[in-house]
Amino acid sequence: MTMKLVDINSHETAEQSLKNHYHSLLNDLQALAAQLQLTESQYRSKIETVHSNHTLSAKNLVHYLTLRRQDLRPLQQRLSDLGLSSLGGSDCCVAMRLKAMNVLLEQALHLPVNEQVGDLVSQQSLNSGSLCLQQNAEEIFASTPEQRTARILVTLPTEVAHNPALAKDMMLIGMDAARINCAHDDMDTWLKMIQNVRQVSQELNKPCPILMDLPGPKLRTGNISCDIAVLKIKPQHNAFGLVTEPARVLLVNNSEFLELPENIQNSPILPIQGIWLKHVEVGDLIEFEDTRGKKRVLQVTEATEHGMWCSINKTAYVTENTCLKLIRIRKRKSPMHFSKQGLVAAIPASRAAILVRRGDTIILTRDQTPGIPAQIDEQTGQVIAPARVPCSLPDVFAMVKVGEKILFDDGRFAGVIQQKHADELHVLITQARDEGDKLMADKGINLPDSRLKLAALSTSDVECLEFMVQHADMVGLSFVNQAKDIKLLQQHLKRLNAENKTIIVKIETRAGFEHLPEIIFALMKSPNIGLMIARGDLAVECGFERLAELQEEILSISDAAHLPVIWATQVLETAAKTGTATRAEISDAAMSERAECVMLNKGPHILVAIDMLDDILVRMQGHQNKRRALLRRLHW
């Protein structure tokens, strides 16, 4: 009979090796904790300047930034190999997580544990950062929805000003907060929107705080000229040229054209002079000759608060002063012609565009004369003069340099500044589609390479702010680049006796991202604060391929500062516009659950988008808590 010998020395060696590993980790973690304390003492003067609501948050932000100034991946791997926390979810409570790790290792090594430290490392202490973040979110958003933790913020369409029922539907489906973009509409419209939301909120006994965004220094293209504005109305045809669906056009009083909701403005619209439209009834026919002398007939199909909807079975081209003849059909009688005729008013040329191709040169001008396309020699096809387009903020001309990149229309096409003059910038188009791109009025311009020094608040912003502090719950500051932008807003709020008004900072520029810690410290001087990741302009400024990386870093830093985050721009955008979302949008919306709030932009199908986002957020919160995966029981 043979006996199996136990290698005692080998066992002792393995045990000693593990102890050595524990000791090494403990030393590294203690050294890391010492770094946190040292940095906190260095930043003490800055921490003492923040509002008392944010003292602990400011300390934790300092700890987190200290932690992230070094590559912790080797340490994380060693911790993970032993089945310990890898510090990946320590954003909200850095120092306490390190203390907890120290206690575990000291116990594993049978070392004496400091009783005071052991008491501190309790479940409540370890969750204190998360609780602080949760309280801050409840403070600015008024409450937490019953079925989910992430709120839904919706940009209100203009129609809410005239239709409180729409606001009620939005709130019933899942809207928790409302946003008004002050780059659109006017104060009278904003007030009507706010009154309707407040009324519905009271009726439903459901809080719905209102965020109003200051427009900020947004660079845009100016007006584009159009020699003759023509509206083309065209029905749908099949492959055989037969009409499958009549065209629809809305007749509106010219005086009310600018007050139409944005989703209706995207439809074919004929503005009508005078009060002639008041005589029109459903069932009437309207005869006219289009620009080609073709006789055409509109059939009035529907009356709405905005105007009269008509259908037409043949293509028509309509311009200003087109004469309209009203025919009323009466049963058992011949058609009745009204003697008074209507006239089409001036058709807005807002959709005028300049076609831009790779290799073209366009000139941005200080002069606000409407832009014109390039002048082409009809015989040779050569460009005689490049296209000219006005810029809404020509002050930037002095701040840019030759060779810097410039992007148009949310990055749809781009170029390089070739020449710089006092009143002009000459831009060579380097990126565009093969068939070219259309440059239209009021489209965004981004200068990601340029160091712009623009005032954070314009005169019109200050006027808007005076309205906001009276009517809004939250003030959104757009295009924040540095800490002094926050300080300027805080000064104006103090002047208006509104220092306690909630401030939401929008991070949407490269400079804003690069100065984020300083911006947050300045923001912390106010009692109630939040942050919006405005991913549209941020992607254009920093590159679309970097967006995922940037939003992760912003989420992490915001968590460390216990700062509620609004995940914004293009969430379920296709669903809001068409009623159907893309697969990529569904995945993006699922990722947004890690923020305290998710923003939807307005669109004709906004109710569909709200309902869809609510469902996605409810489902995802069982799988994800911030950046930590949850192992919920699976059902299949």
pLDDT digits (tens, 9 = 90+) for 546-592: 888 999 999 999 999 999 999 999 999 999 988 899 999 999 999 99
Q: What is the CATH number of the domain that holds 400?
A: 2.40.33.10
Handedness of CA 392, 395, 398, 399 (dihedral sign): negative
238 and 324 both lie in a single domain? yes
357 and 338 both lie in a single domain? no
- DSSP string covering 66-106: HHHTS--HHHHHHHHHTT---STT-GGGHHHHHHHHHHHHH
> Would you say residue 268 lies in a domain?
yes
> Would you say residue 91 lies in a domain?
yes
Mean pLDDT of 437-460: 86
358 and 441 both lie in a single domain? yes
Mean pLDDT of 496-511: 94
- At which of 398, 422, 446 does a domain end? 446
Structural domain count, the chain: 3
Q: What are phi and psi of 34, to 5 degrees?
A: -65, -35
pLDDT at 467 over 90: yes
With both helix axes pointing from N to C terminus, report the angle between 73-81 and 8-42 in degrees, rounded to the nearest 10. Answer: 140
326 and 368 both lie in a single domain? no
- At which of 107, 126, 145 does a domain end? 126
The CA distances from residue 269 to 293, 323, 635, in Å, are 20, 16, 52
Q: What is the CA radius of gyration of the chain?
A: 31
pLDDT at 121 over 70: no
pLDDT tens sequence across 60-78: 999 999 988 888 888 888 8
Residue 199: both structure tokens together? 């009324």
117 and 32 both lie in a single domain? yes
Q: What are phi and psi of 273, to 5 degrees?
A: -75, 150
Look at residue 410 in the predicted model and tell me its pLDDT: 83
> Cα-Cα-Cα-Cα dihedral of 482, 523, 63, 53, to 10°?
170
Instruction: Say if residues 249 and 298 touch (Cβ distance below 8 Å).
Output: yes
Burial of 408 (0-12, 13-18, 19+ CB in 10 A): buried
388 and 339 both lie in a single domain? no
The CA distances from residue 416 to 371, 401, 406, 424, 427, in Å, are 19, 10, 6, 14, 5
Residue 499: both structure tokens together? 């220092």
Instruction: Say if residues 238 and 244 touch (Cβ distance below 8 Å).
Output: yes
> Would you say residue 217 lies in a domain?
no
> Would you say residue 636 lies in a domain?
no
- At which of 76, 94, 126 does a domain end? 126
Q: Give the type of residue at 309.
A: W
87 and 108 both lie in a single domain? yes
Mean pLDDT of 12-33: 83
Look at residue 341 in the predicted model and tell me its pLDDT: 84
* Domain housing 243: 231-343
377 and 337 both lie in a single domain? no
278 and 367 both lie in a single domain? no
442 and 369 both lie in a single domain? yes
Kindly state the greatest CA–CA separation across the chain.
Answer: 124
Give me the chain's average pLDDT, please. Answer: 86
Q: Give the rounded percent of residues in the chain with a pLDDT score beyond 90.
A: 50
Strand partners, 506: 532
> Would you say residue 266 lies in a domain?
yes
> Would you say residue 401 lies in a domain?
yes
Strand partners, 324: 342
> Would you say residue 509 lies in a domain?
no
The CA distances from residue 513 to 520, 536, 537, 559, in Å, are 11, 14, 12, 15
Q: Which of 557, 541, 626, 549 shows the shortest CA–CA distance to 591?
A: 626
pTM of the model: 0.78
Q: Which of 9, 173, 23, 120 shows the shortest CA–CA distance to 600?
A: 173
> Would you say residue 578 lies in a domain?
no
Q: What is the CATH number of the domain that holds 289?
A: 2.40.30
Instruction: Say if residues 344 and 261 touch (Cβ distance below 8 Å).
Output: no
How far apart are the two ends of the chain, measured CA to CA in Å? 54
At which residue do the structure tokens 């004369």 appear? 369
Look at residue 631 in the predicted model and tell me its pLDDT: 47
235 and 338 both lie in a single domain? yes
385 and 442 both lie in a single domain? yes
Look at residue 52 in the predicted model and tell me its pLDDT: 94
Please list, residue by residue across 486-513, b when 16 or more beta carbons sit within 10 angstroms of its beta carbon and e when fewer do: bebbbebbeeeebeebbbbbbbbbbbbb
